[in-house]
């Protein structure tokens, strides 16, 4: 029985280093805690085991669960709806049934491993029913929930079938965390609209308990990125990448995203194509490198996005390229953390232009990597990170002309302006790393 339990869709085993794992693993390890999650392989449920000082408690998902709960309800219904309906949500009753059944399985696993009065921290949109289910099973627990993606406006949320179930599920937590203050306000408005509750400030009374909804903007492991950026091998890799990708060209622009329709990749490529067409940039002086990490490729919308992006890349390279010199390098592949940092160091301009993003940690990683205070960040105003990184070149990614304006401004900016902007952004990121995020959330969960 453990005093601290993390509940997330995936286990921290075989996961690449990432914000969530790097933030929570040390806390879980130091408290002798447990992590409840899925291995990532269907129809597999190993016995509980120890991993790097953390008790791992696997939850089994069948192939049908993965199809209905994960790829269906989580990623084809909730994900697009919570990202402002960038793509239409798909609704199927069997998906909802599977989502409820899998959430119950996670809640039961957490209840089984948590000690009397333990703290349980549940994560993200795949498990929004878990806090309420866990509260019924174990009313003695302190339960926190954090949503890593945006939380939609009331008008959009109201489209969700069984919408009240989700609000009740989240109200099972003592503390519900969001990336942005507006998201917390959207949630509290829904408690009034759907349940007739009366929030006061950031708190609402529900079934004899006080539930707090508050913003806790997530961040990155700054020291990990800083160490990689200082590594001579990574710096050498950056120089080699710069030469391999850019040749003798003056400017290297970079995009690094999961291949997801929320990331604005096709709008970004369209804008770059127009900059080439109107002569603002030329294949002789600039190159755009787009790394697109494969993601959810069994979902039809993602397959269609891949086809659109690859067709546009081919058109631009065919129209504006030359023998041995393409204006756009497109890499549909995963890269290690060290390889990404080398790319950040090689890039003059980082393009982070999602249509909607809860936070976007790539923007913060780029800033953390730039120990030289060089480089420019072109950032969508619809990311959570835009509120913290206001010294970036902010753009509206829906407006191709505004994207072009932002990129052009970054190209034209002088070294002193760029260094001043980067210095301020680096101070912000250093002061608010992922360890501070986790500490603030858990302190609020323990004392509010």
**DSSP letters along 273-321, please?**
HHHHHTTSS-TTTEEEEEEEE---TTSHHHHHHHHHHHHHHHHHHHHH-
The residue to which tokens 């707090």 are assigned: 212
Distance CA 196, CA 34 (A): 36
Q: Can you give the pLDDT at residue 417? A: 98
Is 2-219+434-447 a CATH 3.40.50.10860 domain? Answer: no
First-to-last alpha carbon distance for the chain, in angstroms, is 25
Query: C-alpha angle 135/141/144, rounded to 5°?
Result: 80
With cut-offs at 50, 70 and 90, classify the pLDDT of residue 294: confident
What would the pLDDT profile of 181-232 be if each residue is shown by its tens digit? 999 999 999 999 999 999 999 999 999 999 999 999 999 989 989 999 999 9
Distance CA 427, CA 370 (A): 12
Distance CA 156, CA 249 (A): 45
Q: Can you give the pLDDT at residue 45? A: 79
Q: Can you give the pLDDT at residue 26? A: 77
pTM for the complete prediction?
A: 0.94
With cut-offs at 50, 70 and 90, classify the pLDDT of residue 27: confident
- Mean pLDDT of all residues belonging to the chain: 94
Within 8 A by CB and 6+ apart from 91, the residues are 77, 161
Distance CA 255, CA 340 (A): 11
What would the pLDDT profile of 35-72 be if each residue is shown by its tens digit? 999 998 999 878 999 988 899 999 999 999 999 999 99
* C-alpha dihedral sign at 292, 392, 78, 340: positive
- At the fourth CATH level, which superfamily is domain 222-431? Glycogen Phosphorylase B; (3.40.50.2000)
State both tokens at 391.
């010294």
Give the chain's length: 448
User: Is the pLDDT reported for residue 448 higher than 50?
Assistant: no
Within 8 A by CB and 6+ apart from 418, the residues are 373, 374, 375, 376
Q: Can you give the pLDDT at residue 14? A: 66
What would the pLDDT profile of 377-409 be if each residue is shown by its tens digit? 999 999 999 999 999 999 999 999 999 999 999
Would you name the residues annotated as active-site residues? 148, 357
Positions of CATH 3.40.50.2000 in the chain? 2-219+434-447, 222-431
Number of other residues whose CB lies within 10 A of the CB of residue 298 = 11
Element (H, E) at 133: helix 130-137
Distance CA 432, CA 218 (A): 8
Phi-psi region of 372 (alpha: psi -120 to 50; beta: other; left: phi over 0): alpha
CB-CB contact of 273 with 253 (8 Å):
no
Q: Which residues pair with 211 in a beta bridge?
A: 204
State both tokens at 423.
């210095």
User: Is the pLDDT reported for residue 19 higher than 70?
Assistant: no
Distance CA 7, CA 136 (A): 16
Cβ-count burial of 438 within 10 angstroms (0-12 exposed, 13-18 middle, 19+ buried)? Answer: buried
The residue to which tokens 């995936």 are assigned: 10
DSSP reduced 3-state for 374: coil
**If you ran DSSP here, which 8-state letter would residue 261 be given?**
G
CB-CB contact of 381 with 396 (8 Å):
yes
């Amino acid at each position: 029985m453990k005093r601290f339990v993390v509940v997330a869709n995936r286990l921290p085993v075989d996961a690449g280093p990432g914000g969530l794992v790097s933030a929570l693993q040390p806390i879980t390890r130091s408290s002798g805690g447990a992590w409840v999650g899925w291995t990532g392989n269907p129809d597999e449920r190993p016995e509980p085991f120890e991993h790097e000082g953390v008790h791992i408690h696997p939850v089994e998902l069948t192939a049908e669960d993965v199809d209905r709960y994960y790829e269906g309800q989580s990623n084809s219904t909730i994900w697009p709806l919570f990202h402002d309906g960038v793509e239409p949500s798909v609704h199927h009753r069997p998906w909802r049934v599977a989502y409820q059944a899998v959430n119950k399985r996670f809640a039961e696993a957490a209840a089984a491993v948590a000690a009397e009065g333990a703290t349980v921290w549940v994560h993200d949109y795949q498990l929004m029913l878990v806090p309420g289910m866990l509260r019924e099973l174990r009313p003695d627990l302190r339960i926190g929930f954090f949503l890593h993606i945006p939380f939609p406006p009331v008008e959009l949320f109201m489209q969700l079938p069984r919408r009240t179930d989700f609000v009740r599920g989240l109200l099972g937590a003592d503390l519900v965390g969001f990336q942005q203050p507006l998201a917390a306000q959207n949630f509290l408005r829904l408690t009034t609209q759907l349940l007739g509750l009366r929030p006061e400030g950031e708190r609402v009374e529900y079934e004899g308990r006080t539930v707090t909804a508050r913003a806790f903007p997530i961040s990155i492991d700054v020291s990990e990125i800083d160490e990689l950026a200082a590594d001579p091998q990574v710096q050498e890799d950056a120089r080699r990448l710069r030469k391999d990708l850019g040749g003798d060209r003056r400017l290297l622009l970079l995009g690094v995203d999961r291949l997801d329709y929320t990331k604005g990749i096709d709008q970004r490529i369209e804008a770059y194509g127009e900059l080439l067409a109107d002569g603002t940039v030329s294949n002789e002086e600039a190159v755009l490198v787009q790394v697109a990490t494969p993601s959810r490729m069994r979902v039809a919308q993602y397959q269609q996005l891949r086809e659109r992006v690859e067709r546009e890349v081919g058109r631009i390279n065919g129209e504006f390229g030359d023998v041995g010199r393409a204006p756009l390098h497109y890499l549909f592949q995963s890269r290690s953390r060290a390889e990404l940092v080398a790319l950040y160091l090689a890039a003059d301009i980082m393009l982070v232009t999602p249509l909607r993003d809860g936070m976007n940690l790539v923007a913060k990683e780029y800033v953390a990597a730039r120990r030289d205070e060089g480089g420019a960040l072109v950032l969508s105003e619809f990311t959570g990170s835009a509120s913290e990184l206001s010294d970036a070149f902010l753009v509206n990614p829906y407006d191709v002309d505004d994207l072009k304006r932002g990129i052009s401004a970054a190209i034209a900016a002088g070294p002193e302006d760029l260094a001043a902007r980067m210095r301020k952004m680096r101070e912000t990121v250093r002061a608010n790393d992922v360890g501070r995020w986790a500490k603030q959330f858990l302190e609020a969960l323990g004392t509010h």
